[in-house]
Amino acid sequence: MRAILSGIHQKKSHQILELELIDVPFAVENLAIIFLEQNSLASINVPIHRNVHDNIIKVDIDPNDFIFDQLNLTEFAWQLYFSFNVENDRYLLQVESEYVSDRHQLSLSSYFVFDSDDQQRALFNIHAQAGADEFAINSINLTDAGIEVTGYSTINGQRVTDQTLTLEDRDTGDTLSYTATPTTLRGLFEVQVPIDEIRQDGHYELFIQYKYADQQVRQRVILARSLEGQSVLQPNAAGRLVQINKTYNNGIVITEIPSLTLGQKFGLVGTKAAGVGELLHQLNLKLNLQYMRRLFKAGHRPYEQTTIVFESFGGRQVSDSPLAIYDLFTKLYPGFNYIWSVDKEAIPYCKEHHIPYVKRRTAKWVRVLEKSQYWISNARFPAWVKKPKYVTYIQTWHGTPLKKLGLDIQNVTMPGTNTQAYHRNFVKEANRWDALVSPNDYSTQIFRSAFGFNNQILKVGYPRNDELINSKPEDITALKQAMGIPLDKKVVMYAPTYRDNQFAEKGKYTFELPFSLADFRDKYGKDTVLILRMHYLISNALDISQYSDFVYDFSSYPNISDLYLVSDMLITDYSSVFFDYAYLQRPILFYPYDYHLYKDELRGFYLDYEQDLPGKIAQNEDDLLAYIGDYLQTPDMRDDPKFTKFYERFCAINDGLSSLKVVNYVVHQIENNG
């Protein structure tokens, strides 16, 4: 039996701890969490009054209760134990951790961190006297535009406002001040400092001013973690270099240093050229599978520079949660090395967007995979890809499961495999994942059973959905303009799944639209457009040439979240897209035209399809057209009880910071392994 700390959520000034119980072989009663302070041996018993639901326990704590004046302690290290009764006997089980938090301020002079020790056991560390003159930022980087600083905009759940960053020259006392702006991630602020305003030979320390709890606060800026992975050197317009350094007490100093010598410049140019050449170079020789396997068996050593490989849908795209994590990583930690594993079809996209890549199934691809320290993917790597011991493999997966997965599929009918082989390969691959991202408790339970998975689960929500939570109306308008969608019309999105029984040969799937485009146009074509998003496994292109005035095919569009944002409603069948679309709290219509065949003969479902869905179910085309009209008149579903119940179960965990939580998890691993 195991008890795992899997998530923490703030509720006003309290923290809601979520613990997952695994392999519970018997009934447990009188549940409690016991916190044991390692230095003083003080203990706090927190009874669990709520019933255990799906083996998930929730505990409400106030971090201030874990600070006491005895023994003159200023730092507290609390271990967590799960306490329970089996019949008349009392047991203690030390809690493991699958969650590592950032530094969270309790007050101006205290903060706490949830961490784990080298055995992955949960720790709750509180620093009660951290110094009221310190403000811990999240990151600082030098870019072409200037100095970019990000930080949290709350203290113990209370908003911090009117942030102003000040650069103070410690030699002359001169100051430069800049006002903060919100970032695309809710809960963070950002300050941009033009690099050309840094004075020659200046030595600037960073300070911040803001309003908190009706008081004006001024503190020096600190960075609690190392500068590793962040961009700390950048030339300005005058050709001189601006540099970021840390002081002995975690403060930040920005200086302008003399220009490089001619020899140093040649060396720098050579290094950059070699790096670009290495990223763009690819072998034209087509390597067969046996050669690939031999290459993976060759001995490799990891790169000296921390290297993270990203892959989405087996290299077909640069998209989904891996892209959201990559975008934030490159913003906060540009000093790490990032490489995308892509197929030939995705290479033009990488070139157009200046994304470093390596072509899959080449000798260079093998070398990059084997020498990198981290893999981040949303699907499975081929079984013959060898994972070195020093690689941390983070699996983001690609959807909340509606249809049966992995070991839960009793009859696999996909081409190129059979049920036994599919199960065997699924479990073998899942055992290589060091951490698996989960969007909710429902998915966590399914992932454990369907994948045979017992490693770390990061229950932080899907990073790809951060965009849905953080986007603003002006962002949606800009997307529509870029995609050529009329601003004066409603947008209906149709995104069905593929059918396991609709394939002509291995890798070739077929599909036909199950409703009349002509009827749709007659009824709604004047003020509504239809966008299509077909599954990537459906290879034949739909002929919509007769309906190009109101139908848009975005099946190849790389970021499906953009399509969600521009749509006023979603039509789907069994695709898990509706779990993500629900974050927008807009109407969802289900059109399972082959429901009984799909349910009884193919995979089946985890949910009760007729009872648990957040929208109406159209049984035929007449229903479909009628319900579209109803939902177009109801753009906001927050007052719908059935939808609200669904939202609370599947979407409430995501606060728009999922990408940041995964980034922080990886950085924690890097620092521990460094």
Domain boundaries, the chain: 2-127, 134-257, 288-462+658-673, 469-650
The span from the CA of 598 to the CA of 618, in Å, is 15
How much is the CA Rg of the chain, to the nearest whole Å? 27
The span from the CA of 588 to the CA of 452, in Å, is 32
The span from the CA of 374 to the CA of 363, in Å, is 19
* Helices and strands of the chain, counted as H and E runs: 16, 39
Q: Are strands 14-22 and 75-86 parallel, antiparallel or unpaired?
A: unpaired
Q: Are 379 and 322 in contact (CB under 8 A)?
A: no
Q: Which residues of 529-556 are buried (b: 16+ CB within 10 A; e: fewer)?
A: bbbbbbeebbeeebeeeebeebbbbbee
Structure tokens at 340: 């995308």
Other residues' Cβ atoms within 10 Å of the Cβ of residue 119: 8
The predicted pLDDT at position 470 comes to: 93
The span from the CA of 667 to the CA of 180, in Å, is 25
Q: Are 307 and 371 in contact (CB under 8 A)?
A: yes
Beta-strand (E) ranges in 548-628?
A: 551-553, 569-572, 588-590
Is 374 strand, coil or helix? Answer: strand
Q: Are 392 and 374 in contact (CB under 8 A)?
A: yes
The predicted pLDDT at position 424 comes to: 85
Q: Are 150 and 190 in contact (CB under 8 A)?
A: yes
Domain 469-650 top-level CATH class: alpha beta
The predicted pLDDT at position 510 comes to: 44
The span from the CA of 55 to the CA of 20, in Å, is 6
Structure tokens at 460: 């932080």
Domain 2-127 top-level CATH class: mainly beta
Q: Which fold has domain 288-462+658-673?
A: Rossmann fold (3.40.50)
The span from the CA of 609 to the CA of 402, in Å, is 9
Residue 630 identity (one-letter amino acid): D
DSSP 586: -
The span from the CA of 200 to the CA of 255, in Å, is 8
Is 124 strand, coil or helix? Answer: strand
**How many angstroms separate the Cα of 656 from the Cα of each of 167, 258, 652?**
30, 42, 10
Q: Which residues partner with 115 through β-bridges?
A: 123
Q: Which residues of 322-351 are buried (b: 16+ CB within 10 A; e: fewer)?
A: bbbbbebbbbbbbbbbbbbbbbeebbebbe
Torsion of CA 578, 580, 581, 586, to 10 degrees: 100
**Contact residues for 113 (Cβ-Cβ < 8 A; gap 6+):** 101, 102, 103, 104, 125
Which is nearest to 244 in space by CA: 198, 284, 290, 285?
198
Q: Give the DSSP per-residue string, 400-466.
A: ---B--GGG-SS---TT--HHHHHHHHHHHHTT-SEEEESSHHHHHHHHHHTT--SEEEES--GGGH
The gap between the terminal CA atoms of the chain, to the nearest Å, is: 32
Q: Is 565 exposed, middle or buried (0-12, 13-18, 19+ CB in 10 A)?
A: buried
The span from the CA of 30 to the CA of 49, in Å, is 9
Which is nearest to 140 in space by CA: 336, 331, 337?
331
Q: Are 664 and 100 in contact (CB under 8 A)?
A: yes
- Give the CA count within 13 Å in the CB-facing half-sphere of 23: 8
Torsion of CA 476, 477, 481, 483, to 10 degrees: 20
Mean pLDDT, consecutive 10-residue stretches, the chain (674 aa), reads 88 88 84 92 89 81 89 86 90 87 88 86 89 89 91 90 94 92 86 88 92 93 88 83 87 79 50 38 44 73 94 94 96 95 95 96 91 95 90 95 85 75 85 94 92 91 95 95 96 83 46 83 94 69 79 89 97 92 97 74 73 92 94 94 95 90 93 79
With tokens 């100095």, the residue in question is: 147
Same fold, 2-127 and 469-650: no
Three state DSSP letters for 153-217: CEECCEECEEEEEEEEECCCCCEEEEECEECCCCCEEEEEEEHHHCCCCCEEEEEEEEEECCEEE
Q: Are 296 and 384 in contact (CB under 8 A)?
A: yes
The span from the CA of 294 to the CA of 450, in Å, is 31
Span 594-643, pLDDT tens digits: 776 666 654 578 888 888 999 999 989 999 999 999 999 999 999 999 99
With tokens 């009859």, the residue in question is: 411
Structure tokens at 423: 């199960």
Span 153-203, pLDDT tens digits: 999 888 999 999 999 998 888 999 999 988 888 889 999 999 888 888 889
Residue 177 identity (one-letter amino acid): S
Q: Are 578 and 482 in contact (CB under 8 A)?
A: no
The span from the CA of 304 to the CA of 271, in Å, is 15
Structure tokens at 656: 């728009």
Structure tokens at 543: 């002929």
Is 648 strand, coil or helix? Answer: helix
Angle between helices 320-332 and 658-673 in degrees, nearest 10? 60
Q: Which CATH architecture has domain 134-257?
A: Sandwich (2.60)
Query: What is the chain's percent helix, strand, coil content, to nearest 5?
Result: 30, 30, 40
